[in-house]
Amino acid sequence: MKQHPGTNPPTFRTTVSGITDGGLHLSESYCYPRGGGQPGDVGVISSSDHSAEFSEVQGGDFILHPVDDPSIFNVGDGVECEIDVIRRNRNTRMHTAQHVFSAMANELFGAETVGNQISEGYTRIDLWFPDRDQFNAGDMAVAVNDALRTDSNVSIHEWDRDRILSHEQMRHTKFMDRIPSSIEMLRVVEIDGIDLCPCGGTHVANTSDVDDITITNSRSKGAGKLRITYE
């Protein structure tokens, strides 16, 4: 099930497939592992006998659900995994807002997003500008909030690399070099009329789910770059 909902992910049942010093591997997991600027999920894993909170889920060859004492579980245990929905929903909204922010910065100022990190309650985004003196936080916030208020649908596609790289509206494809070529189909996120880019993060179904943003800070991050913080 690739299109697990970005918000309100339901509790799922699975089995413990591996145990390391740091935590548990599950035979299937719908937890979001930290990556792409988006924090990983946290939550609770329960077997019939035991229950443990897991801290921020980590990616890698196998998704790791870190728990304090993994030895209370056994490989093969049937478990229930409950994702912290409030945290996930917040991160999902913040992450979708970041797509809109990056798209509008590109449209208004020709800026390229070179990094981003979502934290509790705020996001910082690093942008490279052809001419960063052109940047204007007021215009930027208005453009983002106007775009969010268009009630645009967000859809997820599975497209191959050729289709992604040949699409004229596609943004943010440079990082695709870092994804192993054995992975042929990539997830593409489309925010109707606003943004189209490959992305593995979690997203709301419609921009009406995202509140307005407020830009709180911008400062130099080296030649041509600004680090912008918004809530």
Distance of CA 85 to the CA centre of its chain: 15
- Over the Cα atoms of the chain, what is R_g? 19
Site string for Zn ion, 25-54 (x = CB under 5 A): ------------------------------
In the complex, minimum distance from the CB of residue 79 to Zn ion, in angstroms, rounded to a whole number:
28
Specify the residue, 77 or 190, whose C-beta has the smaller distance to Zn ion. Answer: 190
Contact 57, 87 (CB under 8 A): no
In the complex, minimum distance from the CB of residue 100 to Zn ion, in angstroms, rounded to a whole number:
10
In the complex, minimum distance from the CB of residue 171 to Zn ion, in angstroms, rounded to a whole number:
11
Interface of this chain with Zn ion, residues 129 to 148, rule: CB under 5 A:
none
In the complex, minimum distance from the CB of residue 99 to Zn ion, in angstroms, rounded to a whole number:
5
In the complex, minimum distance from the CB of residue 201 to Zn ion, in angstroms, rounded to a whole number:
4
Residue corresponding to tokens 């797509």: 99
Specify the residue, 35 or 110, whose C-beta has the smaller distance to Zn ion. Answer: 35
Total residues at interface with Zn ion (CB under 5 A): 3
Specify the residue, 39 or 201, whose C-beta has the smaller distance to Zn ion. Answer: 201
Contact 45, 67 (CB under 8 A): yes
Site string for Zn ion, 201-220 (x = CB under 5 A): x-------------------
Of the candidates 24, 199, 226, 228, which one interacts with Zn ion according to CB under 5 A?
Answer: 199
Report d(CA 122, CA 24) in Å as an integer. Answer: 30
Site string for Zn ion, 148-187 (x = CB under 5 A): ----------------------------------------
Specify the residue, 66 or 201, whose C-beta has the smaller distance to Zn ion. Answer: 201
Among 14-22, 40-48, 194-202, 213-221, the segment contacting Zn ion (CB under 5 A): 194-202
Among 54-62, 139-147, 196-204, 215-223, the segment contacting Zn ion (CB under 5 A): 196-204
Among 62-70, 162-170, 171-179, 195-203, the segment contacting Zn ion (CB under 5 A): 195-203
Task: Label each residue of the chain as H, E or C.
Answer: CCCCCCCCCCCEEEEEEEECCCEEEECCCCCCCCECCECCCCEEEECCCCEEEECCCECCCCCEEECCCHHHCCCCCEEEEEECHHHHHHHHHHHHHHHHHHHHHHHHHCCEEEEEEEECCEEEEEEECCCHHHCCHHHHHHHHHHHHCCCCEEEEEEEEHHHHHHCCCCCCCHHHHHCCCCCCEEEEEEECCCEEEECCCCCCCEHHHCCCCCEEEEEECCCCEEEEEEC
Which residues make up the interface to Zn ion (CB under 5 A)? Answer: 189, 199, 201
